[in-house]
Amino acid sequence: MTKVKITNVRTAVVEANFDWTLVRVETDFGLTGLGEAFFAPGLTATIHSLGEFLKGKDPLQVEPLVRNMFAAASAAGGAGQVFHAVTGIETALWDILGQHLGAPLWKLWGGKYRDKVRIYADCHGGDALESLDALLQPRHPDWDQSHSQWNPSAGSHSERILEEYSPKAYADKAQRMAEQGFTILKFDLDVPNPYTVDGYNRSLGRQEIEYLAGLMAAVREAVGPKVELAADCHWKFAPDDSIHLAEALQPYRLLWLEDPIPPDNMDALKFVRDHSPVPILSGENLYGRQGFRQMIEQQAVAIVAPDLQKVGGLSEGLRIAELADLYYMPIAPHNISSPVGTLASVHACACMPNFLALEWHASEVPFWGEMLTEGSLIKNGSIEVPNRPGLGATLNEEVVRRYAKSGEPVFA
Ligand code: MG
């Protein structure tokens, strides 16, 4: 075969609960690859810049191209949106290589440990529904009829908002999701409540801890002992306050407590992990093997959660899983992506021996099941690992256009 070339890298952004940023790599030999990158302000401009850098290069040289992209963008630092951009492109390159060789991605990585990947449902908080822009500001796309009024930066706690985050709302949501067949449910605990005193000092008073634990008590009562539960704190609390919260949550036997403290101090995280009666999970803000090295070597968490649309590539995710496996730590990847990124994560999760569960964050997005001709993917709380060549995702472009973010090109 004569040398093949990348001819273009294009993007489309779907305005869903987050900006679903799709990447298409085009070649001069009839194949195109599809990937997805975790949102960031200005992300598509970075992807297009890397696309110019890739033009004329051999798309089948996936790993060398990833190294070359990181080297070219090294002045932008070892974290952040360059990682998001490279990750989205890397998935699309694997998709091209897989199609070229007639093999699904998991075969390129040496085989799969399972035929189905267990999915856990992120239930957010009760009845509340969020669509957030790239700076995490609430927005209301046409498809979102909920008109939830919580603006995290405004800190307003109207009665309507407290209803959306009430124990009853949590219990109802848990029941709905368990009925769909999910066996792990995750809820937010950094939510509006009547007892927050200060939005900055990371403290949790006794009443607030009781209120938050009561939310999980309502969930446990609604779903019974057979469904696993987890809770996410989005880096909100101080170390000792987090431990007190974990102690209050202990009776509900959570699978994990996620990101109780800010993500960037491994000594503090290890302190929490060592004193928490609930297993601690973190990792969605870290980049690359080097970003995870200290967390894993110090065993600062019980469960490692890289985001496979952000971490530096699907194969980087596999290497991080391998490092975690040195300490017998399970992997539960973070995932807020569209069906495209989710399917990419499914291939990687199938190849991780220490895989626990993959997140699904789009239960309230009404067009989730329409974006791929392969349908909604999720059946009874799991996704079958595809056998189609490459990624195995066929976009319904009409749906992408219908929900496209204004001002962004659609693969143009
Ligand atoms: Mg999280």
Number of domains in the chain: 2
Q: Region 265-282: what's the mean pLDDT?
A: 98
What is each CA distance from 299 to 170, 180, 274, 324, in whole angstroms? 32, 34, 9, 9
Rounded Cα gap, residues 332 and 79, in angstroms: 21
> Is residue 141 assigned to a domain?
no
Distance of CA 52 from the midpoint of ligand 1 (Å): 33
- Mean pLDDT for the chain overall: 95
Task: Identify the band that residue 156 occupies on the pLDDT scale cut at 50, 70 and 90.
Answer: low
Q: Are residues 217 and 349 in the same domain?
A: yes
| Å from CA of 309 to ligand 1 middle | 14
How much distance in Å is there from the Cα of 64 to the middle of ligand 1?
31
Does position 324 have pLDDT exceeding 80, yes or no? yes
Identify each DSSP E strand in 158-274 by its residue range.
Answer: 184-188, 228-232, 256-258
Lowest mean pLDDT among 68-77, 99-108, 191-200, 300-309: 191-200
d(CA 289, ligand 1 centre) in Å? 19
Distance (angstroms) between ligand 1 centre and the Cα of 152 equals 16
Q: What is the pLDDT of residues 344-383, one digit of tens each?
A: 999 999 999 999 999 999 999 999 999 999 999 999 999 9
Same domain, 312 and 185: yes
CA pair distance 148, 157, nearest whole angstrom: 12
Residue 281 has what pLDDT?
Answer: 98
Separation of 60 CA from ligand 1 center, angstroms? 34
The 10s digit of each residue's pLDDT in 10-59 is 999 999 999 999 999 999 999 999 999 999 999 999 999 999 999 999 99
Q: Greatest CA separation found in the chain?
A: 69
If you measure from the C-alpha of residue 305 to the centroid of ligand 1, how many angstroms do you get, rounded to a whole number? 9
CA of 337 to the centre of ligand 1 (A): 13
Across the range 94-112, mean pLDDT stands at: 98
Q: Is the pLDDT of residue 391 over 70?
A: yes
Is residue 17 exposed (0-12), middle (13-18) or buried (19+ Cβ within 10 Å)? buried
| Pair (73, 120) in one structural domain | no
- pLDDT at 218 (0 to 100): 98
| Mean pLDDT to the nearest integer, 269-274 | 98
Q: Are residues 171 and 93 in the same domain?
A: no
pLDDT of 147 above 60: no
pTM confidence score: 0.96
Q: Find out whether 378 and 183 touch, Cβ atoms under 8 Å.
A: no
150 has pLDDT over 60: no
Same domain, 184 and 92: no
Looking at the domain assignment, is residue 408 inside a domain? no
- In a domain? residue 243: yes
Q: What is the pLDDT of residues 183-198, one digit of tens each?
A: 999 999 999 998 998 9
CA 107 / ligand 1 centre spacing (Å): 30
User: Residue 334 C-alpha to ligand 1 middle, in angstroms?
Assistant: 7
Residue 340 domain flag: yes
What confidence category does residue 158 fall into, taking pLDDT thresholds of 50, 70 and 90?
A: confident
Domain assignment of residue 241, given as a range: 116-125+165-387
